[in-house]
A = this chain, B = another copy of it.
Amino acid sequence: MTNAPAARRDIPDATVARLPVYLRVLRALSGRGVDVVSSEELADAAGVRSSGLRKDLSYLGSYGVRGVGYDVERLSEEITRELGLQGDFAVAIVGMGNLGRALADYRGFATRGFSVRWLIDTDPELTGSTIAGLTVVDFDGFRPGPDEAVIGVLATPPASAQEAADSLVERGVRSILNFASEPLDLPDSVAVRKVDLATELQILAFHDQRTRPEPEPLPDPFAEVTS
């Protein structure tokens, strides 16, 4: 029991991670002219249970109407506001290898309020060149404005990831999406999410192996020779 002044409602991490999914479904519904949606329909489309969806939404407040459902536009706006996506966010991509280039060109960002505004690489061969309409700069050239909220995307080789992350944080970046499969050591005030493609594949390989119809047995080193 705390009496902190008007403490911000605390939304569980698991809920925060699902809000963008709901938002995406809502916008698709809106595009198809749907005005109202029930928790059952929305949950189905998002791949969650309706009770879980309602619990998630209850953290935002009561924006549904009993017996009716949720107003698609209204709910979109509330989630957008809750996620803080009204403003637009700048993205800075570090590391202009294959992945970095692909991300620089990725269309999916713009449709969701993000614009790639900085491309960074330390290789002098690359700085000054143009990729996806932007000039590649080194860290000295990375000077975001004081009010520019920048999310850093690390697409460097693993060996340079920590150094690159430090440079971003030095220049005021507080949120990092890490594609380099290298755990980062950063202050707690910096939010980091990682996307490790090889790890994802390994997790899938584990499940794949488990569900393999009839795995051919490995030769048993202790088996008697019977033939």
Per-residue B-contact encoding for A93-108, CB less than 8 Å = 1, 0 else: 0000011011101101
| A210, CB-defined interface residue at 8 Å | yes
Nearest-neighbour CB distance to chain B for A112, whole angstroms, equals 4
In the complex, what residue of chain B is closest to A184 when comparing beta carbons?
Answer: B47
| A55, CB-defined interface residue at 8 Å | no
- Of residues 95 through 128 on chain A, the ones whose CB sits less than 8 Å from some CB of chain B are 98-99, 101-103, 105-106, 108-109, 111-114
Interface size range on A against B: 35 or more
| A224, CB-defined interface residue at 8 Å | no
Most buried by B among A20, A21, A45, A86: A20
Main DSSP-derived SS at the A contact region = helix
Nearest-neighbour CB distance to chain B for A8, whole angstroms, equals 8
User: A191 touching B174 by the CB < 8 A rule?
Assistant: no
Quick check: which of A30-38, A62-70, A162-170, A193-201 contacts chain B, the rest being far away? A193-201
Nearest-neighbour CB distance to chain B for A154, whole angstroms, equals 12
Q: With a CB–CB cut-off of 8 A, which chain B residues contact A89?
A: 201, 205, 208
| A211, CB-defined interface residue at 8 Å | yes
User: A191 touching B212 by the CB < 8 A rule?
Assistant: no
